[in-house]
Amino acid sequence: MAPATVAQATASKATVSNVLNGTGRVGEETRQRVLQIAEREGYVANFAAKSLRAAETRTVGIVTPDISNVFFSSIVMRLERELYNAGYASFACDTENDPQREASYIKSMLHKQVDGLVFVNGKRRLDLSALPTKVPTVVLDRITTGTHERFVSVDNDVRQMTHDMTKTLLDRGCTRVALVAVSASSHPLSESSRYLGYVEALAEAGVRLDQNLVLRGMHSRPSNIEAAELVSGLLERGGSVDGIVAIGDRVAIGAVKAIEAHGLNVGSDVLVIGCDDTPIARLFTPTLSSVNRNVDKLASRAAEALIALMNGEVLEQAQIIVDRQVVERTSTLGQ
């Protein structure tokens, strides 16, 4: 197991190392002999010793808020693959949106001397001050300014996404479009990019903004339940609606349930569009229109940027915006 074992056989530590790494000059005969013994003994180099010596780990840490959420886990999967292809192993940690675990994981990763970090933003905004100051870092799912120069953030343009969603409904003839948001953040909705994109699209179409159509839940319960209640409340108050912009697919599902419970038809009486284009959008009945955030591209741009940073390259772009597509299905197209 130990290199000694392999070395003892016939060659010195140095030679064995050279053979196994293809470095230095080694006689063909010796090479074969060492290789054979290493194989037979099932020799695996000691990573700790290696990284101690090399002062690099070829490892990156990935911190996610909630890996059981498809959106995040798809991102992690894709990140891992890209990094893996570039010769890096990934270390994925799930903080379950717990700031304490977040801090602890950051510490742990630094401790492990990761060569790079990816932080995926969650419900709760990442506390960037906790980020290390030197390690190449990518923040995903949120555009922000870094604390140091080896820092990049990657996201879609949330405002544009909401704009697109709203415009999609308006283009299909809706005139009473509601915005349904669910978020634990204390940030007022009226100052969010979501709201801005919504308002902007209304304005462009010359449709009057009605604050009664701006609904917001605090994410105290599952978002679909909360959304259903918000929409039910609106309908019960006699509010007229013919379109719903939901900030997520689960929110959209809640809205659909509420609409149907009130005897209205989704896709004709009321059009609904969700966001994130999660697998459920295709499986749900009616199939849900949604905005595809290009998760693959999001992750690959992030991986790409991180790899560049780890290679010591200086990026001219510290903020990367990934495009998105509206995917229309039954909930806006009708049967």
Contacts with its own copies, residue ranges (CB under 8 A): 44-52, 57, 66-70, 73-74, 76-77, 80-81, 84, 89-94, 96, 101, 107-108, 110-113, 224, 250, 253, 257, 279-280, 283-285
CB of 191 to its own copies, least distance (A): 31
Place of tokens 């005969």: 29
Nearer to its own copies, 59 or 166 (CB): 59
- Residue 10 CB, shortest distance to DNA, in Å, is 7
CB of 78 to DNA, least distance (A): 30
Binding partner selected for residue 26 from its own copies, DNA, none, CB under the kind-specific 5 to 8 Å limit:
DNA
What six digits make up the tokens of 159? Answer: 């405002």
Of the candidate spans 43-51, 162-170, 215-223, 255-263, the one that interacts with DNA by CB under 7 A turns out to be 43-51
Three-state DSSP state, 327: strand
- The region of 12-20, 84-92, 192-200, 253-261 touching DNA under the rule CB under 7 A is 12-20
Q: Residue 14, interface with DNA (CB under 7 A)? A: yes
φ/ψ (deg, to 5) at 158: -60, -40
Hey, which bits of the chain come out as E strands?
Answer: 59-64, 89-94, 116-120, 137-140, 151-156, 177-182, 214-217, 243-246, 271-273, 290-292, 319-322, 325-327
Whether the CB-CB separation of 253 and 284 falls below 8 Å is answered with yes
Under rule CB under 7 A, residue 17 binds DNA = yes
Residue of 142, 100, 99, 101 lying closest to 119 (CA atoms): 142
Buried b (16+ CB within 10 A) or exposed e, 91-129: bbbbbeeeeebbeebbeebeeeebbbbbbbbbeeebebe
The answer to whether 220 contacts DNA (rule: CB under 7 A) is no
CB of 22 to DNA, least distance (A): 10
- Binds DNA (CB under 7 A): choice among 29, 42, 208, 285: 29
Instruction: State the Cα–Cα distance between residues 22 and 238, nearest whole angstrom.
Output: 76
- Interaction of residue 261 with DNA, rule CB under 7 A: no
Q: Smallest distance, Å, CB 247 to its own copies?
A: 16
Side by side, the strands of the sheet bearing 116-120 are: 89-94, 59-64, 116-120, 137-140, 151-156, 319-322
Among its own copies, DNA, none, what does residue 76 contact (CB within 5–8 Å per kind)? its own copies
Find the shortest distance in angstroms from Cβ 223 to DNA: 44
DSSP one-letter string for 168-201: HHHHTT-SSEEEEEE----S-GGGSHHHHHHHHH
In the region spanning residues 171 to 210, those forming contacts with DNA, defined by CB under 7 A, are none
Indicate the residue among 9 and 333 with the shorter CB distance to DNA: 9
CB nearer its own copies, residue 43 or residue 195: 43
Q: Which stretch binds DNA (CB under 7 A): 18-26, 120-128, 152-160, 193-201?
A: 18-26
